[in-house]
Chains A and B, each alone.
Chain A
Amino acid sequence: MKVGLFIPCYIDQFYPQVGIATYQLLKKLGCDVDYPENQTCCGQPMANSGFSPLTGGCDKNFVANFDAYDYIVAPSGSCVLHIKEHLKDDKNPEKAQKIRNNIYELTEFLVDILKVEHLSSNFPYKVGFHTSCHGQRGLHLSSMTERVLPQFSKPEQLLQKVKGLQLSYPERKDECCGFGGTFCVFEEAVSVKMGKDRIEEHQKNEVDYITAGDVSCLMHLEGILKRQGSKVKAIHLAEILNHE
């Protein structure tokens, strides 16, 4: 089973520790992982801003990098969802389709494909879980408060296996943090207000960390936490699962 690791551009540049944790975790769990070195971005920033015709270059590059793998795994629900829904290859549509079928968000891959039963992780802290929307509502990584369906959560299933970790949820369990891609810039006021409100709920629970499956949400929340001088830290789920 050959796994291609997709590390989205902003994780590559600003949060390499998340990529490292994901890589090490997959290795630890016995995967044959490699990182196609010419990868860049999934194209989502352009597409979500209305410029999907400009994503041709990203698509082409993505297909060239990931065509050869059985599975593609990324520590970002949002980027995975974009690939799943929008990756195109007009010359070889079957290549794009294969990638769209075989790309997985990290927790989804660990639960559904690797069927992880045990983790050697240890993280003795109180952790607030932020449910990132694209992973949850787009990839169905967990049940949603709006729907009348059975309750489940793939990320929670994994976090429950981490020794010492005390998990908490904010009162509004799955409300958006306000990042929203370029929304965070073009609708700055609403974006920040949403982020502040998310943080306040976690702070009420006296958490040490806020975690999520998307670095984008965490980058936004971390930016506000730091500006507030808060003691609460943001950490990606992969870093917790890889922590011993």
Chain B
Amino acid sequence: MSNLKTLDHAAAAEIFIKDEARTDWHDDTLWFVRQKRDKAVHGIAEWEQLREWASEIKNHTLSNLDNYLIAFEKQAEANGIKIHWAADALEHNQLMHKILKDNNISRIVKSKSMLTEECHLNDYLKKQGIEVVDTDLGERIVQLRDEAPSHIVLPAIHLKKQDVSETFHEHLHTEEGNNDPQYLTEAARQHLRDHFIQSELAITGVNFAIAETGGFVVCTNEGNADMGAHTAKIHVACMGIEKIIPKTEHLGVFLRLLARSATGQPITTYSSHFQKPRSGQEMHIIIVDNGRTKQLGRADFRNSLKCIRCAACFNTCPVYRRSGGHSYHTAVAGPIGSILNPNLDMKANADLPFASTLCGSCSNVCPVKIDIHEQLWKWRQVIVEEGYVKPEKKIAMKGMAWLFSNPKVYRWAGKSGRWFLRTMPFLGNNKLNVWYKQREMPEAPKQSFHDWYQQNKNK
């Protein structure tokens, strides 16, 4: 899977939009999910209260993260789970590799883990000659195509059934041109069943880890996390340090929020609770930092760690819907990805906080009240301050700032600018002017408001 950055968001989005019919389809599909979300949440009178509770629980947990993590480790170990700590993606991948080597494992299934995407686990293991089979339908489809998921909840949302049919024909030898979803799903089901039966180790993600009990919860719609964990003799769950919640009683708040925000379902089909290994099974949890403590230390950005990965901000984002997940060139795309990824690599992701109109819809749908659009604004300041900005932009901004600081110069420039635009419209209406590419320029009036006011104020 290639996650190498080749284009910045604007350039990748421009390519995506060239196929306008497909862009419309992508936009409509995600808007449909956003509407389902609206319908589901407007049926809950206490929705805003739930959001507030979730936000407060997460704030509290983030402020006491060390204590809760230690409590979780202690309780999980008492339950017979083996706990591993990974400082970064590489360490996570090495720990996983070690578990595989120690147990001489070669058949691995995986379900519901964006963290392993973030760590590029599949790529890493592939280089060691080990293949991991993603079992969730959407993830399996993109895996067969050697692509990254384009959405954290709907990983293959960028693909149409025809694309899936072609992919399955090539890899699973289904009938060419058969686009029937039921036929294709059945083919995937049979294909995955073989992998489940043969698997020796199952990797899953973690939606919520409960400090009080040492158990964790994985939310899925297809049940593949259970299938994997229940057939394999080893279950390895990978979680970011921010997945902790203090007590079981807090779970209800999040489970009510998660699925409604994600897909408009009242609750995910399966909320699977794992507490201890079954007899004869080994259970491991890899707890990963990978930049999270650094983000925790950034006062302006720490509350991005409240994210429960519902992707509501993706579905509502008018930019995401029209540019597609791959244009964000990161494991977590969309508005939340745009505030998480600069923390991981500011230079590589300097474009992302600018891939937004700051419309604020993302903050409004966020079930844990992350001020996403305000953090986008703040990241822009940090990125400019750190120097990850094109020099021509800097020069233009300095020029504007000077102009607007000097009223007389501003008025003179406005007057002459308008005169030029009126008498020599080609100065604005040309290829160098990006505005003009698909939009007309505003008409330049002879008189500014300032001039009108001077003439009319005493009338």
Which residues of A approach B to under 8 Å, CB–CB?
A: 7, 9, 11-16, 19-20, 23, 34-35, 37-41, 43, 45-58, 60-61, 133-134, 137-138, 144-149, 172, 174-176, 178-181, 183-195, 197, 219-220, 222-224, 226-227
Contacts and interface: CB of A to CB of B under 8 A. Distances in A.
A19 B449 contact: yes
Interface of B: 9-10, 13-14, 17, 20, 23, 27, 31, 38, 41-42, 44-45, 47-48, 316, 318-319, 322-323, 353-361, 363-365, 377, 380-381, 383-385, 389, 393-394, 397-398, 400-407, 410, 414, 417-418, 434-435, 437-445, 447-454, 457
Contacts of A146: 38, 316, 361, 364-365
B397 A46 contact: yes
Contacts of B355: 187, 190
Nearest to A220: B439
Given A40-B407, A195-B439, A219-B442, 15 more contacts: A11-B449, A19-B452, A20-B452, A37-B407, A43-B401, A49-B380, A133-B358, A133-B359, A137-B361, A144-B361, A146-B365, A185-B434, A191-B357, A192-B439, A223-B441
A28 B97 CA distance: 76
8 contacts: A12-B450, A13-B417, A48-B380, A54-B400, A189-B13, A194-B319, A194-B322, A224-B438
B449 A57 contact: no
B319 A187 contact: yes
Contacts of B410: 9, 40-41
Given A20-B449, A137-B364, A185-B434, A50 B358 contact: no
Which one of A23, A50, A138, A184 has the greatest number of beta carbons of chain B within 10 Å?
A50
A44 B355 CA distance: 17
Contacts of A181: 357-358
Contacts of B435: 184-185, 188, 223
Contacts of B444: 13-14
A224 B439 contact: yes
A38 B14 CA distance: 40
B442 A15 contact: yes
A49 B377 CA distance: 8
B318 A148 contact: no
A12 B414 contact: yes
B17 A190 contact: yes
B383 A50 contact: yes
B112 to A, nearest CB: 26
A133 B13 contact: no
Which one of A20, A49, A149, A195 has the greatest number of beta carbons of chain B within 10 Å?
A49
Contacts of B407: 37-40, 61
Contact of A14 (B365, B398, B442, B450): B442
A189 B7 CA distance: 14
A223 B457 CA distance: 31
A172 B363 CA distance: 18
Contact of B359 (A14, A148, A180): A180
Contacts of B449: 7, 11-12, 16, 19-20, 35
B398 A54 contact: yes
Contacts of A7: 449-450
Contacts of B440: 222-223, 226-227
Contacts of A180: 356-359
A58 B452 contact: no
Contact of A57 (B44, B401, B414, B448): B401
Nearest to A195: B439
